[in-house]
Amino acid sequence: MITDCHVHIGKSNWLQVYSDARDLIEAADHSGIDRMMVTDLTALIYDIEEGNRLIREAVSDYRDRMIPYYTIVTGRHGKKILEDFERYVTDYGFRGLKIYSVPPLQLIDDPYMLPFIEKAAELRIPILAHSTGAECESLSRQVPECILLNAHMGCCPQAHGDWHASVAAAKKFPNIYLDTTSSSFDNGMIEFAVEEVGAERVLYGSDLPLLDPTLQIAKVTESDITQEQKNLILHGNIDRILKLRGTE
């Protein structure tokens, strides 16, 4: 069983990528992925309202396989976007919030982003935070009940690839989880995270279609940890957070 916590759908000229729901299902079947948490590239880069509408339509035929995030970027969003976020969770079954940080001027822990963090905490859904360990620490101090999935475990431009800082943040705050999605294959990365925060706080992600999911899976399956720990990372932890049924 594999539940991927970090997948993209849609198109982006900037990233030079396109994937529709059928493309993702094909790739998931090929890689042995059972379920995917999906964020829309249109909402991530071009238009928040249009992108979230598109993903709602795209996953409608695959709700047993695809779990949508409501997706926003950091910025000064109006009340309507916050209301839409809650409506998409309560009415359309979205199960997470994806926030893409746009440094240096717009960060996830800026005051105007707090209503989204607080609403996600109230709804008890996870936040996939494309940000730094420092931002996740700041949010955890302000909204300790929020569930933060630190995207890429810090291996992103915003964090300068410093996954050690993300592990350190997760060690301080029990609400921070580490997403393994990354183009980095540093030796001992998974083992170090498991040793420092426990396998219960590490989640498998692929960044499909931007990265090859088979390589991302191998990063976990070939690490020097127990099979029980691998199972937690590959699906057990995110399934528990989402309270998914039919898990093993």
Structure token digits, residue 188: 């001992």
What residues does 67 pair with on adjacent strands? Answer: 37
Confidence of residue 246 (pLDDT cuts 50, 70, 90): very low
CA 96 – CA 215 distance, rounded (Å): 25
Q: Output the pLDDT for position 75.
A: 85
The bridge status of strand 96-100 relative to strand 176-179 is: unpaired
All structural domains of the chain with their residue ranges: 3-242
DSSP 3-state of 79: helix
Confidence of residue 161 (pLDDT cuts 50, 70, 90): low
Per-residue pLDDT, averaged over 190-218, amounts to 96
What residues does 40 pair with on adjacent strands? Answer: 9
Q: What is the pLDDT of residues 209-221, one digit of tens each?
A: 999 999 999 999 9
Q: Specify the CATH number of the domain 3-242.
A: 3.20.20.140
Does residue 185 register a pLDDT over 80?
A: no
Please give the biggest Cα pair distance in the chain: 47
Q: Output the pLDDT for position 62.
A: 96
Q: Output the pLDDT for position 159.
A: 53
CA 94 – CA 55 distance, rounded (Å): 10
CA 130 – CA 136 distance, rounded (Å): 10
Q: What is the pLDDT of residues 167-181, one digit of tens each?
A: 999 999 999 999 999
Residue with the larger pLDDT of the pair 187 and 63: 63
Q: What is the pLDDT of residues 89-119, one digit of tens each?
A: 999 999 999 998 876 667 889 899 999 999 9
Give residue 203's identity as a one-letter amino acid code.
Answer: L
Q: Output the pLDDT for position 247.
A: 40
Does residue 15 register a pLDDT over 80?
A: no
CA 217 – CA 111 distance, rounded (Å): 36
Q: Output the pLDDT for position 27.
A: 97
Give residue 98's identity as a one-letter amino acid code.
Answer: K
Core vs surface per residue 149-158: b (16+ CB within 10 A) or e: bbbbbbbbeb
Q: Output the pLDDT for position 162.
A: 81
Nearest to 120 by CA among 241, 201, 244: 241
Per-residue pLDDT, averaged over 41-67, amounts to 93
The helix/strand count (H/E) of the chain reads as 11, 9
What is the pTM (predicted TM-score) of this model? 0.94
Structure token digits, residue 233: 């990372």
In the numeric block, the tokens 């399956």 are attached to 221
Average pLDDT, the chain: 92
Nearest to 125 by CA among 101, 102, 158, 92: 92
Q: What is the pLDDT of residues 122-154, one digit of tens each?
A: 999 999 998 889 999 999 999 999 999 999 997
